[in-house]
Amino acid sequence: MEKLPMSASRTVQTRLVLPPDTNHLNTIFGGRILAYIDEIGALCAMQHAKSTVVTASIDSVDFLSPAKAGDALTIEAFVSYTGRSSMEIYVKVTARDLINQNERLTTESFLTMVAVNEEGKPVPVPQVYPETEEEKILYESAPFRRENRKLRYTSRNK
Ligand SMILES: CC(C)(COP(=O)(O)OP(=O)(O)OC[C@H]1O[C@@H](n2cnc3c(N)ncnc32)[C@H](O)[C@@H]1OP(=O)(O)O)[C@@H](O)C(=O)NCCC(=O)NCCS
C-alpha cells in the first residue's frame, strides 16, 4: 500500500460560536468542542483510509483557553501516525475574535480512528509520513502515545 503524507489528510473546518453553544459564562461547552473533534477526526481518517472508520478512543483533550460567543473556531486535523488498521488523529482548535482579530489556541486533542469493512472488522490503512517540523515532532512522539493507549485499554480488558 502506498505511503501518504500527513498533509493529504489535512482537514480544516470553520465554525461560528453561537449563543446556544455556550454556557452561563458565555463560553463554549466542552461537549460541543468534543463533537466537532469527533466529526473532523472521522472526516480526516476517511480521507486517509478511503474506507469507513469508527472512533476507537478519544485519547486526550486539553482545553487550553475558552472560546466565546461570536468567536470563529478553526478546527484542523490530520493523521499523525498509523498502525495496521488504526490512525492517530491530531486535532487543534483555535478561536479568533473577529473584531480585534486576536487568535489563540483553545483545544488540542488526539484520537484513534480504526478503518473497518462492511462487517465492522478492522482493515489495513496506508502508512503515513511527516514533512513539516510540526508533523515530524508529532510522528516521532506517536509510538509513546500508542504504547500508553494500548496499556490503558488492554489493562481494562483483563
Ligand atoms: C475499534 C474496533 C473496530 C476494534 O476492533 P477489535 O476487534 O478490537 O480489533 P483489534 O483488536 O484487531 O484492533 C484493531 C485496531 O484498533 C486498535 N484499537 C482497538 N481498541 C482500541 C482502543 N480502545 N483505543 C485505541 N485503539 C484501539 C488496535 O490497537 C488495533 O490497531 P492496529 O491495527 O493499528 O494495530 C472495535 O472495538 C469497535 O467497533 N468499537 C466500537 C467503535 C464505535 O462504536 N465507536 C463509536 C461510534 S463511531
Tell me the pLDDT tens digit for each residue of 63-114. 999 999 999 999 999 999 999 999 999 999 999 999 999 999 999 999 999 9
The pLDDT of residue 158: 59
The whole-number average pLDDT for the span 34-54 is 98
* Sequence-ordered list of residues with C-beta below 8 angstroms from that of 141, at least 6 positions apart, any chain: none
Q: Cα of 138 to ligand 1 centre, how many Å? A: 21
Closest atom of ligand 1 to CA, residue 57: 24
- Higher-confidence residue: 153 or 49? 49
Place of cell 508529532: 138
- Alpha-carbon gap, residue 67 to 9, rounded angstroms: 26
Locate the domains of the chain by residue range: 4-156
Best probe residue, ligand 1, of 39, 43, 86 (max atoms within 8 Å of C-beta): 86
Q: Is the CB of 117 under 6 A from ligand 1?
A: no
**pLDDT over 70, % of the chain:** 99
CATH code of the region 4-156: 3.10.129.10
**Between residues 154 and 129, which one has the greater pLDDT?**
129
